[in-house]
Structures are given as C-alpha cells and as structure tokens.
Chain A
Amino acid sequence: MFIRSTTALAAVFLLSAAPLSQAADKPTDPQIAHIAYTAGVLDVEAAKQALKKSKNKEVVDFAKDMVRDHEAVNKQALDLVKKLKVTPEDNPTSKALTKAAAEERAKLAKLKGAAFDKAYVASEVAYHKQVNGALETLLIPSASNAELKSLLETGLKIFQGHEQHAEHVAGMLK
C-alpha cells in the first residue's frame, strides 16, 4: 500500500512539476498525444489483467467499461493524429507512466481474490486521479491544436467519470 502510494505520488510530482519549470519544458502536441494515448493503453492493460484475475462481478464490469471507453477514446486519438499528420513522440512522462504501470501490474499479479479486487480498484482510483491532474494542469493548457485540446477535454470528462465509478466500486468492496 505504502509503496503504491509513493509510486503514484512520485508520478504525480513528476507530471505536475513540469508547469512550474521553464516554458521550454512544456510538452509539445506530439508529446501530449503520446502521453494521452499511453495513459489509455496502460489502463486497458490494467483492465485486461483484472478481467483475467477477478471473479467479482462489479470489478469485472468496471474493467470491461475501462477497456471499452479507453479503446474508443484512443481510436479517436489515432484518427485525430492521422488527420493532423502528427506523429506521437515518446517522452519522459510517457516513460514514467509506463514504468509505474508495469510495477503496479507486477504487484497486483501476486494478489488473489478479494485482495486483488481491492488493490486493483484502489489503484484505478489513484491512477485516474493522477491522469486527471496531469490533463488539467499540464496537458490541456499546453495543447496548441484546438482539436487536440477538445479531445483532451473530453478525455478529462471520461477519466473523471471513471474516477467516480472506481470510487463507487471501491465503496462496494468494503
């Protein structure tokens, strides 16, 4: 529990520290597209792990919702970058997110049953909070293309919805 929170906090710090530093550190549109897409892919991977491991109906339903929504939003993102002729560009934030998610999956892989369910859902609450923070404070304000900004804003609403949904499921598991 402590380790997960620390990882999440470190990632939040990493993400939210950027706007405080120099303007040159502001992510570019190709980097923003990469971060947003990566965040979606990572949540789909987490959900697929949950679909394999969980037998709890609420948790399975939630995981299915995550797969469906994030695949839908990422399809929109891919269509948009194609249209804008932007090539998503890997960057330190995407790398940090990917590393943190891999660590989280490894931790969850060792858990079973109700312990897994609780840990997965708690991790989903934390993850969506973290990504929402990044969208609000860094990604949306930094995006220069209006269509990308608009897609990120829809993405933020989706993620905020998921955060509330995850909190609801967490409440049911208590």
Chain B
Amino acid sequence: MMSRRNLGVALALAMGAAPAKADTIEVTIEKLVFSPAKIEAKVGDTIRWVNKDVFAHTATVNGAWEVMISPKKAASLTVKKAESVDYFCRFHPNMRGHLTVTSP
C-alpha cells in the first residue's frame, strides 16, 4: 500500500520528469573565465561547470545559491525555477557569468 506521502513523491517525480527532456548545459572554466559567459536553460535542466584550472572556484548567486567547483573537477546544479541572474566566483569575484532560466 502506498502512503499518501509516497504517492505525493511519486507524482512529483513523474510530473517533474514528464513535460520536456532535461538538458545538461556545460560551462568550462579555464584561466579564470566562465565560458560561455552567458547561458540559457529551462527549469529542470542541469548546469555543469567543468573546472580546468588548478584553483577552486564557485558559481555563486548572492543570497540564493552556490556551487563549489574543485580544481580539475566538475560540479552540477539542476535549476528549479525561472530566473535571470548574474553569478560570480566568490574566491575571484572578477569571474562573472549570467544564467537565464525559462519555464519549460
């Protein structure tokens, strides 16, 4: 028997997955530059930052979210709401990018 709560989770999963195929958008970080600097995504897509530097970086939106990207590693974020935000690296605030998320 499925509890009400599990049913809710199942429904949420089904609804979240159903409407459109989620894409992964890749941003490369090399020599302290986000490339491409401007990206567009749909709600449900994943942004994947690939850090080619030997330095740790972050993708940070003040007061909202932060993704830590270790040296020579990649890190991801699945975007959950429509927004248009500037993000930057907290360690090197001269590194800037822009993310536009639209509703699917």
Q: Is the CB of B92 within 8 A of A72?
A: no
- Minimum distance in angstroms from A94 CB to a CB of chain B: 23
- Minimum distance in angstroms from B43 CB to a CB of chain A: 31
The chain B residue with its CB closest to the CB of A156 is B32
| Cβ-defined partner of A161 (8 Å) among B54, B71, B93 | B93
| Cβ-defined partner of B95 (8 Å) among A68, A75, A76, A161 | A161
Known contacts A157-B92, A161-B93; is-contact A72 B54 (Cβ 8 Å): yes
Q: Is the CB of A157 within 8 A of B54?
A: no
Q: Is the CB of B91 within 8 A of A65?
A: yes
- Minimum distance in angstroms from A88 CB to a CB of chain B: 20
Q: State the CA gap A154–B89 with chains docked (Å).
A: 15
B56 within 8 A of A: yes
Chain B residues with CB below 8 A from A65, complex form: 91
| Cβ-defined partner of B56 (8 Å) among A68, A73, A160 | A68
Report B's interface with A, CB cutoff 8 A: 31-33, 54-56, 71, 89-95
22 A-B contact pairs sorted by A residue (CB < 8 Å): A65-B91, A68-B55, A69-B56, A72-B71, A73-B54, A75-B54, A154-B31, A157-B31, A157-B92, A157-B94, A158-B32, A160-B92, A160-B94, A161-B32, A161-B89, A161-B94, A161-B95, A164-B92, A165-B91, A165-B92, A165-B93, A168-B93
